[in-house]
Amino acid sequence: MTNVVKRNARAIILDGDELVLIKRTKPGREPYWVSVGGSVEEDDATVEAALHREVFEELGGKLERAELVHLTTDELEGGIGIQHIFAARLKSMDLAARTGTEFTKPERGRYEVVRVPFTAEAVHELNLMPQELANFIATNTDAIVSVVDSPLREA
């Protein structure tokens, strides 16, 4: 059995017909874009709970719901890292409420919340990292919209 040494929770967040991303600008590097999310921490009850925590930390945001739509695997020292990719609709966002420690560390560069049209063409124009996620989004835009817009299932 492969040892899982890290888990991340990330979201493909839609607001209307736009994709909400973080534009990262670091000294000495070309800007790139990432989806909202980060590491699953020990005190997170579930991977989805980690996602909701990260959305609040990075956007001051809340999601209407989140559905797991994709997994990616990274080879890491001592095992693998798994990225749990969710599709979600944004319920609310208040950037003044962000709590992530990254915003208090200027040496880590800028974290700018941006919106882009949710189309394959717009996603391809960005340097969205990781590339596997960019390809998944661009290939599956209609499916992602159908997931986030489908009626909630009864429990």
Whether residue 56 lies inside any domain: the answer is yes
Whether residue 20 lies inside any domain: the answer is yes
Whether residue 89 lies inside any domain: the answer is yes
- Which are the contacts of 111, defined by CB distance < 8 A and separation ≥ 6? 22, 23, 24, 58, 100, 102, 103
Whether residue 37 lies inside any domain: the answer is yes
**What's the number of domains the chain is made of?**
1
Whether residue 84 lies inside any domain: the answer is yes
* N- to C-terminal Cα separation, the chain: 32
Structural domain that includes position 127: 4-149
Q: pLDDT of 27-44, one tens digit each?
A: 889 999 999 999 999 999
d(CA 27, CA 108): 8
Whether residue 108 lies inside any domain: the answer is yes
Q: pLDDT of 52-110, one tens digit each?
A: 999 999 999 999 989 999 999 999 999 999 999 999 999 999 999 998 777 777 777 88
Whether residue 119 lies inside any domain: the answer is yes
Q: What is the pTM of this model?
A: 0.92
CATH number at residue 48: 3.90.79.10
Whether residue 155 lies inside any domain: the answer is no
